[in-house]
Amino acid sequence: MLSLRANKSIQDLSWRPTVRRHSETSVTGKFSWKITHLVPSYRPPQKQRALVKAVVSRNGDNNKSSSAAEQVQVNQDSEPVSKSTSKDGIDVKAVITIRKKLKEKLSEKIEDQWESFIIGIGQGILIQLISQDIDPVTKSGKSIDSFVRGWMPKPSNHPNIVEYAASFTVPHDFGLPGAILITNYYGKEFFLREIIVHGFREGPLFFPGHTWIHSRNANPESRIIFRNEVYLPSQTPAGIKDLRREDLLSIRGNGRGERKPHERIYDYAPYNDLGAPDKSKELARPVIGDQERPYPRRCRTGRPPSKSDPSFESRIEKPHPVYVPRDETFEEIKQNTFSAGRLKALLHNLIPSIAASLSSTDIPFTCFTDIDKLYKVGFVLSNEEQKEVTENPFLGNLMNQVLTVGEKLLKYEIPDVIKRDRFAWLRDNEFARQAIAGVNPVNIELLKEFPILSKLDPAVYGPAESAITKEIIEEELHGMSVEEAIQEKKLFLLDYHDLLLPFMEKMSSLPGRKAYASRTIFFYNRTGHLLPIVIELSLPPTSNSPQNKRVFTHGNDATTHWIWKQAKAHVSSNDAGIHQLVNHWLRTHACMEPYIIATHRQLSSVHPIYKLLHPHMRYTLEINALARQSLINGGGIIEASFSPGKYAMELSSAGYSKWRFDMEALPADLIQRGMAVEDSSNPNGIKLVIEDYPYAADGLLIWSAIKELVESYVKYYYSDVNSVTADIELQAWWSEIKNKGHFDKRNEPWWPNLKTKEDLSGILTIMIWIASGQHAAINFGQYPFGGYVPNRPTLLRKFIPHESDPDYEKFIHNPQQSFLSSLPTQLQATKVMAVQDTLSTHSPDEEYLGQIHELQGHWICDNEVVKLYKKFSAKLEEIEEIIKKRNKDSRLKNRCGAGIPPYELLRPSSGPGVTGRGIPNSISI
């Protein structure tokens, strides 16, 4: 790690008890002794010239660089400066705002009082103003420093906000400060909201913080806080040019050393931390992110290698946190909301676990009433069960806290998919509607050629041609030929055959898992309705069945009708797995992570593109780290609840093999899937093949608004023809994304160039769309659609019976029981419902697209840029009204009608909770 060392030597610090100097604020006893002996008392030498040195971490150690280019000499008066009326200087005051915890323990409140005392007497925080102008002697920015001391006469309006001040007398020729070095001499970190410098004739100067300032005990290097100005690298004022470089170097990892919680180091690693081979051979998992299993890179933590295999990183389990750079962690409100969600998930998972342990079996659903009870009654424990549970030493304390008088525990909210019409999920038109207006509307494609052919090796996977014949399709087309239907763009396909078939044998060998590779054909009829007409379910070929494929249609009798239901359930299960592992986790969460890491490593915080992207990076690394710890890890929730089981991340890697950055642009994706055609007369240059395609129709509005903002923003800052290619930080950023962040795809020819403003605008629009609109569309509908298990089972436990199967008679006798017994068990279902409920929840501190939040507002220092954002916000308000009107338009059958829930996943605004709408700026859940 490279960072800035504070300008005080260790000899300048003496450690002495100071509590007696202010006895009325002290505490007594042993705790007081500990505090007073941890507070450094600073005795500054007179007019010392200090060095601020770059220190590069190698093998986790701090080794001083001998390069003269890595030293910045700062001329400063080390004596704290008091306010002066001297004609030789300007009196200025730096007001520093610190945020406290919302809820504090008694010990923390006492510690805060002590902190206020130490800072108040000028022994806690050192502030150094660094001028934009060069000192002719040192050849670096002019500098002056002072300790923060005293209290503001007017307390803050917010109880958790504290303000302090540091006074300076700066020479008339000092110029404007462009940066501040801040050194924390107190014993613990603090959260810096902002620093405002008053006294210069240009008015108050704002230095945005919104960052944790580590203690000098943890790291002796000072932090750099830049003023809220925007500079391309070539435009950086001379006085802070070296600091810009040093600040970037200070947060770049070098692939070595274990990361500490207080650090802000960004680096790359493959997904070699998902398995736990030291715990059990059954929990060993392959490395995801190599030549065999390509994948984007994650944020490196540097934990020690596994004892059983050094190529794997050792695991760290809850409640211990996985490292992310300090400023990437959840803020207190978000943490409390997420913790509440985790508690809710724990309780939901726990109750069926108890029931399973008491009955020594994992109970299947036996009738639809069992499912309805999840929403109407909640979980109920009898007196005997309560007694057994509360006497359990592990569960007793927890359960005593949550059991109610009525012995009922938490119950689920009714999901939207059955709230208006509890039988809608049974109908074919609802099954089809969810392919274009559900939680996974991004896989359906136009059927362009017939017959349908596989691209898999026929020597391994059997004949390439699908078992779906022309005759089978035409029976469902009411007199239209296949050729006519293809020509008129009436046939559509949901094809998971090639992605899933290589995994079928392994998946179906897992206990309680049975799956097929699926293809589904939809017909867009003359009345404007999309309907499923044929389903093909395939298994790998065997010696007895070289063409191991079954084809289903809805039929006209009871038997084929129930078989058709089971076939649709298998398609839905496949759709749920592909949605979660490829479209949701991979294409948004995992692919966004390298963009965030590269942005911090290569773009200075004063770079215009950093400021543009910053709102779209919030919380993503933290939520991804939590996912690696509990969701996508070996034995985690995803493996336990979805069909691929232990092969889940290998399937996700297979999905990455088909991933292309340029095709993540919404218009390009729609054209590639045949769901739109090029049309220059329409906005975005395309026309939808199905006009009533809610995800695409609303998504294009959001895409267009983002694109307009980005193009205007880029044009404003990159006015010269060669300004994009001349931007060394920007070019390094794009190179690192391709060559490090997406290392396994680094040689692909489809990566866009970065030479022009148009190139840059296109790249940034894709990134912001992924973080905002795309993630919202495929995340916040998880519980509204998946919360009702029969509608969207995440796994199935039985194959569809053949007439020759022993279970076929049971199916004929009780088809409902056969269907329910193939669904996830009650434990499996409630597990995934709890997770989907948590993942579909908006936090109270959510920051939504188009809303200029406090930090973003402080960073925007240019009125022209403010106008761009206001225009963007106004555009999104218009889009909100358009979507509301569309959801009331009776002509749009996929979003309006009897029992049809409106399509609101791409409505920009939302309140907290599971609302099924709202577009956050970033992937924050």
pLDDT recorded at residue 387: 55
Determine the Cα–Cα distance for residues 702 and 919; give it in Å rounded to an integer: 10
Give the model's confidence band at 349: pLDDT under 50 very low, under 70 low, under 90 confident, else very high: low
pLDDT recorded at residue 855: 62
Out of 799-808, 849-858, 916-925, give the one with best mean pLDDT: 916-925
Instruction: Please give the model's pTM, rounded to 2 decimal places.
Output: 0.87
User: At CA 536, angle to CA 531 and CA 541, rounded to 5?
Assistant: 170
- Residue 39 scores a pLDDT above 50: no
Summarize pLDDT for 626-637 with one digit per residue, the tens.
999 989 999 998
- Residue 14 scores a pLDDT above 50: no
Q: How many alpha carbons lie under 13 Å from residue 805 in its C-beta half-sphere?
A: 12
Greater pLDDT, 348 or 892:
892
pLDDT recorded at residue 188: 87
Q: 570 catalytic, yes or no?
A: no
- Residue 507 scores a pLDDT above 90: yes
Q: Rounded mean pLDDT of 738-758?
A: 98
Lookup result for tokens 């206990």: 511
Q: 219 catalytic, yes or no?
A: no
Q: Which amino acid is at 429?
A: N
* Annotated active-site residue in 779, 791, 894, 921: 779
- Which residues, 6+ apart, have CB-to-CB distance to 177 below 8 Å? 129, 130, 131, 132, 197, 205, 227
Determine the Cα–Cα distance for residues 584 and 781; give it in Å rounded to an integer: 11
Determine the Cα–Cα distance for residues 487 and 430; give it in Å rounded to an integer: 26
pLDDT recorded at residue 410: 57
Range name among 62-76, 868-882, 897-911 with the lowest pLDDT average:
62-76
pLDDT recorded at residue 164: 86
Range name among 49-63, 280-294, 503-517, 654-668 with the lowest pLDDT average:
49-63
Q: In what order do the strands lie in the sheet with 89-99?
A: 161-171, 89-99, 190-198, 205-213
Q: Rounded mean pLDDT of 95-122?
A: 71
pLDDT recorded at residue 408: 47
Average pLDDT value over all residues in the chain: 84
Summarize pLDDT for 248-261 with one digit per residue, the tens.
999 999 999 999 99
- Residue 142 scores a pLDDT above 80: yes
pLDDT recorded at residue 380: 52
Four-point Cα dihedral 849, 854, 855, 860, nearest 10 = 80
Summarize pLDDT for 49-84 with one digit per residue, the tens.
233 332 222 233 333 333 322 333 333 333 333 344
Lookup result for tokens 């739109």: 676
* Annotated active-site residue in 584, 742, 842, 858: 584
Out of 109-118, 469-478, 538-547, give the one with best mean pLDDT: 469-478
DSSP secondary structure, 101-163, as one string: PSS--HHHHHHHHHHHHHHHTT-SEEEEEEEEEEPTTTSSEEEEEEE-BS--SS--SSTTEEE
pLDDT recorded at residue 880: 98
* Annotated active-site residue in 214, 775, 842, 858: 775
Q: 589 catalytic, yes or no?
A: yes
- Residue 811 scores a pLDDT above 70: yes
Give the model's confidence band at 92: pLDDT under 50 very low, under 70 low, under 90 confident, else very high: very high
- Residue 171 scores a pLDDT above 70: yes
Range name among 76-80, 111-115, 337-341 with the lowest pLDDT average:
76-80
Greater pLDDT, 801 or 392:
801
pLDDT recorded at residue 86: 57
pLDDT recorded at residue 37: 29
* Annotated active-site residue in 589, 607, 614, 842: 589
Give the model's confidence band at 160: pLDDT under 50 very low, under 70 low, under 90 confident, else very high: confident
Q: Rounded mean pLDDT of 9-33?
A: 29
Sign, CA torsion 247/217/210/150:
negative
**H or E stretch at 535:** strand 530-538
pLDDT recorded at residue 29: 30
Q: Which two tokens stand for residue 647?
A: 């092969």
| Percentage of residues of the chain with pLDDT beyond 90 | 68
DSSP secondary structure, 891-916, as one string: T-TTTSSTTPPP--TT-S---SBS-S
pLDDT recorded at residue 150: 67
pLDDT recorded at residue 43: 34
pLDDT recorded at residue 348: 52
Q: Rounded mean pLDDT of 849-864?
A: 78
Summarize pLDDT for 777-787 with one digit per residue, the tens.
999 999 999 99
Phi, psi of 886 (to 5 degrees): -60, -40
pLDDT recorded at residue 1: 34
Q: Which two tokens stand for residue 423?
A: 């039988």
Q: Rounded mean pLDDT of 109-131?
A: 76
Radius of gyration from C-alpha coordinates of the chain? 31
pLDDT recorded at residue 100: 83
Q: 858 catalytic, yes or no?
A: no
pLDDT recorded at residue 832: 87
Q: 779 catalytic, yes or no?
A: yes
DSSP collapsed to 3 states, 151-188: CCCCCCCCCCEEEEEEEEEEECCCCCEEEEEEEECCCC
Determine the Cα–Cα distance for residues 293 and 285; give it in Å rounded to an integer: 12
**H or E stretch at 241:** helix 238-250
pLDDT recorded at residue 240: 97
